[in-house]
Structure 1
Amino acid sequence: MSRASPWTPANLQPDCREDKKRRLPQGHTGEVNSSRSAHEDLDDMFASLSIDSVLAQENSGERPKDRKRKSCQENAGNLTNALPDDVLENMFASLSIDSRVTSTASMRSGKGSFIILDDNILAGGNSDCTTTSTDSRRPRSEVFIERVNDLLLRHVGTRVRVFEIRFDLNSTHAAHLDKWVQFASEAGAQDVKLSLCKNTTSCPEHFVTANRYNFPLHCFGDGRQRSSMRKLDLTNCIFTPPPDSGAFSSLVCLYLVRVTITDSGIQNICSCCPILRHLRLARCDNLVNVRISHEVLICLDIFRCKKLVSVEIHATCLLIFEYDGREVHINYASTPSMRFLVNKFGHQNGYLSDGVEGMKRIRKITLTFLWPSEKPSYTLYAIKFTAIQFINLFILPSWNNVRGVAYLVKATPYLKRLRLEARSGDHHYRDDVQVSWPEGISLKRLRFITVGGFAAQAPLVELLVCMVHAGARSRRTYLQIDPHHHLCKGLGRWVREDVGDKPARDRVREAARETLRSRLPPSVKLVIK
């Protein structure tokens, strides 16, 4: 960094480096989360996947350290495609977890310090920041800024790996935030996170829209020099990346939550972040028509951007795409490597578009059947999707919806696992309704059916009976019934909700035994949780 550090004190003494330990707070240091090392390994893996493509463009000679790193990355470009599906899924699940390090100070590690600036600074547990009786009468933000400034002053010259700010700040505090971000840049921080909200939740929209902090891109170079940052996580900020900049060429993961960014800003990200692997856009309400064009992007997550109309994806290495929000047009223009697809429309039924036909490696999908459509478009499933082996469905168990599910499983003849999460329990079993199922359903490989939120709904019962009879009777099939509702945490990771009336769940279990056990083939094992 060419500019002088804003943190160099005027009266710095020559012997200030005699004891570096004095720069580290000795008070409230907290404990580093045990998962941090796993996150470091994942970040290192992501950084190595295609960093060689960036190094190859550099004209300068390689240092011995660079040659060693490059030798370990020689064949990393195809690493993710060679991984088993379960390993790949767990890897991304771990990477997306929002790890918390409850420390306001920093902890030493072999790769640098962790600096976490949050509410703990105000708790008075840090011995370097003296607590006075007047602090309680001052604004929280004023006390926080003063203590952060004091803490960072003691860290001048310290190598930093993780730098996080989690506090309710906005554009009125820009002068201080700019200095802190520049400190992170000059300290070589690889993981930078700004969560500028209160108590880890988003501030009121009318407030943050007018007062969001504009992330200072200039702190990471003028475009000719790459920064060391590999992961950037912003909440309640403004992010305006330039069309051509080398400042973020080392960025591997980018998470934007309630961030003000435009459609052109997303295209600029794709052009100036050549080794970006994971992109998350959550509640970015200025996005309308998003076009993602990236050669090495692996995971794309778009979550509840309320003005979004369309998404177009050109990403030949993309393995995972998760969408959750209003119904939009999604064009899978070029996604031949896709393995996992999550498409959760909030108030409409999900569907498989024609683009899925070109995904020769697609194995797992998550869709919604949450709208009791009177005339479902069964023609959407006229094509056979032979690669799909796992299906997760949120379903409102109306008769038309369960027929739609039947046509979906007919289009996926190699299905191995099916999970249904019923979102309504007010449809009780009746035996006076007849429904015609699609002909030619063959589920010879279906071995596991799991149903959450089961309440003996008549349409759902009939659908289960239809599917188990369509499977091969010579091999064991497991049907698991659970009256509890579940939440999907992404990529098919389900968490049980232990709410509701226990006697009512007991009645559902008894109804499941009465309505299902006698109608199942001998090859089906019924498990009621």
Structure 2
Amino acid sequence: MSLRDAARAACVSHSFLRSWRCHPNLTFSKEALVLGWNPYRKRLEELSLLLDYDAEYNFPCSVLLDGRANSIRDLDLTDCVFRPMAGFSCLRSLTCLSLCDVYITGDELGCLLSCSFALEELTLMSCEEIICLKIPCVLQRLNRLVVHECDNLEALESKAPNLSIFHYTGGAVKLSLGDALRDLTITASGWNLVHYAGAKLPHIVPYLEALDITSSLARKIPVLPGKFFHLKDLAISFMVSAGSFCPDYDYLSLVSFLDACPSLETLILSVKQDSVEHDSVLGDSSQLRQMPGHSHGSIKDVTTVGFSSAKSMVELACHILENAVSLERLTLETVCYDFRCCDGYSECNPVAEDMMVEARKALLAVERYLSEKVPSTVELNVVEPCGRCGATENFHDKLS
């Protein structure tokens, strides 16, 4: 920014600051929001309101009544109280609704949704008064639903006939989503999500095509009672904020998940942790386990991010090489980077030194157990720790 532009910005900022100090309270009216008819035929199509999170502002629903808000297509409210009641018949042109830290109950939201016939996208973030969320069947156009950290939510039921994308972040919740759903993303806290996904989702979303689940909890996957007949893309992420992920977890048990996905083409397994406590295959003299009788005929591309020398993880990679008859590419990333210097950043994000040592063990495991199993038709990509930035400092010294 030039010196002149910087000076202008500073003046404007001071002017705004003086204005807010002189007028700390705002009153919204239909005239202020340019709602309804006016001689210049202006129509308000977007309304975004972001308030101080310490303030408890009651949004005046009255300014939206009597058809005055029928031109609004995009409504975005943050940090306020919003109480639409029965008979709230407005916002008929609304296509996108986003509520963040908004005080609104499930019933009140239902009153709003019941007349929003044009709604296509709904986003709810940290709306803690919602316990039961019901999406009515009148929302024929609703295609995308995002629910993020609504801590008290217990049940979510959608009867929207064309809802195809749903992203959810939060604790365990009872789901009923309808047959139209094709793309599902769930990031769970305190929820054994991988087990739940395998046991319940085939019946809840039978036509699912893409599934992305992230969990910090897991246990061995049993034989699944149902199948994802249409699932083509599967991403499973295990993440912990500190320490290692379930030292006794058996990655080979994921084979039963693969068996339940006969149309699966792409698999991504990501394990983000600060230390590895699994038994290393390098120090184990026993034979690698095999699971005969399994065939994964559609899998073409497999990626493991955070690949380690954990015996069960090596066994899973061997199983895929031996049983995925259509496999074209296997990618093993030995370090789980959030960002890398080769992608334009100044340096890679810091990685625990123990994980850098483990990455070297993973490379040895690939050389010893996997390289000779790779068919000529399969491209093997092994991503090593970055050698360009300080993230690998003293890495080779520690190994020597």
Structure 2 length as normaliser, TM-score?
Answer: 0.76
Which residue of 1 is the match for residue 388 of structure 2? none
1:432 deviates by 4.7
CA deviations on 1:245-294 (whole Å, 9 max, x unpaired) are 33211110111111111110221122021111111111111111222223
For residues 285 and 310 of structure 1, the distance between their equivalents in structure 2, rounded to whole angstroms, comes to 13
The alignment status of 1:176 with 2:20, answered yes or no, reads no
Does the residue aligned with 2:92 lie in a helix, a strand or coil? coil
Which residue of 2 is the match for residue 465 of structure 1? 318
Cα 1:486–1:408 shift into 2, 3 Å: farther
Does the residue aligned with 1:315 lie in a helix, a strand or coil? coil
For residues 115 and 59 of structure 2, the distance between their equivalents in structure 1, rounded to whole angstroms, comes to 16
CA RMSD of aligned residues (A): 3.4
Q: Which has the higher helix share?
A: 1
Q: What amino acid is aligned across from residue 117 of structure 2 in structure 1?
A: P
The alignment status of 1:407 with 2:256, answered yes or no, reads yes
User: Could you tell me whether the CA contact under 8 Å between 2:50 and 2:79 is conserved in 1?
Assistant: yes
For residues 243 and 356 of structure 1, the distance between their equivalents in structure 2, rounded to whole angstroms, comes to 36
The correspondence of residues 8-407 of structure 1 with structure 2, limited to 5 A, is 123-125=10-12, 131=15, 140=17, 143-144=19-20, 173=24, 175-179=25-29, 182-185=32-35, 188-197=43-52, 203=53, 208=54, 211-220=55-64, 222-293=65-136, 294-332=139-177, 335-350=178-193, 351-352=196-197, 354=200, 356-357=202-203, 359=205, 361-373=207-219, 376=220, 378-379=222-223, 381-395=224-238, 396=245, 398-407=247-256
Cα 1:308–1:234 shift into 2, 3 Å: same
Which residue of 2 is the match for residue 455 of structure 1? 308
CA deviations on 1:304-340 (whole Å, 9 max, x unpaired) are 11112121221210010111111122123xx221110
CA deviations on 1:412-445 (whole Å, 9 max, x unpaired) are 0111000011022413622356786766432111
Which residue of 2 is the match for residue 525 of structure 1? 379
1:523 deviates by 3.6
Which residue of 2 is the match for residue 499 of structure 1? 350
User: Could you tell me whether the CA contact under 8 Å between 1:421 and 1:486 is conserved in 2?
Assistant: no
User: Could you tell me whether the CA contact under 8 Å between 1:397 and 1:457 is conserved in 2?
Assistant: no
User: Could you tell me whether the CA contact under 8 Å between 1:215 and 1:237 is conserved in 2?
Assistant: yes
Cα 1:258–1:520 shift into 2, 3 Å: same
User: Could you tell me whether the CA contact under 8 Å between 1:324 and 1:345 is conserved in 2?
Assistant: yes
For residues 358 and 256 of structure 1, the distance between their equivalents in structure 2, rounded to whole angstroms, comes to 26
Question: More displaced, 416-425 or 317-326?
Answer: 416-425
User: Could you tell me whether the CA contact under 8 Å between 2:309 and 2:358 is conserved in 1?
Assistant: no
For residues 413 and 259 of structure 1, the distance between their equivalents in structure 2, rounded to whole angstroms, comes to 42
Q: What amino acid is aligned across from residue 178 of structure 1 in structure 2?
A: F
CA deviations on 1:314-367 (whole Å, 9 max, x unpaired) are 1210010111111122123xx221110112211222123645436454210012
CA deviations on 1:54-79 (whole Å, 9 max, x unpaired) are xxxxxxxxxxxxxxxxxxxxxxxxxx
1:505 deviates by 7.5
1:123 deviates by 3.3
Cα 1:377–1:453 shift into 2, 3 Å: closer
User: Could you tell me whether the CA contact under 8 Å between 1:122 and 1:143 is conserved in 2?
Assistant: no
For residues 497 and 398 of structure 1, the distance between their equivalents in structure 2, rounded to whole angstroms, comes to 27
The correspondence of residues 426-465 of structure 1 with structure 2, limited to 5 A, is 426=276, 427=278, 429-430=280-281, 431-432=284-285, 440-465=293-318
Which residue of 1 is the match for residue 331 of structure 2? 480
For residues 340 and 181 of structure 1, the distance between their equivalents in structure 2, rounded to whole angstroms, comes to 42
Which residue of 2 is the match for residue 52 of structure 1? none
- The size of the alignment, in residue pairs, is 351
**Structure 2 unaligned runs (5+)?**
37-41, 239-244, 340-344, 384-400
Which residue of 2 is the match for residue 20 of structure 1? none
Q: What amino acid is aligned across from residue 389 of structure 1 in structure 2?
A: K
For residues 289 and 359 of structure 2, the distance between their equivalents in structure 1, rounded to whole angstroms, comes to 31
Identity of aligned residues (%): 21
Cα 1:422–1:143 shift into 2, 3 Å: same
Does the residue aligned with 1:468 lie in a helix, a strand or coil? helix
Cα 1:436–1:240 shift into 2, 3 Å: farther
Cα 1:377–1:458 shift into 2, 3 Å: closer
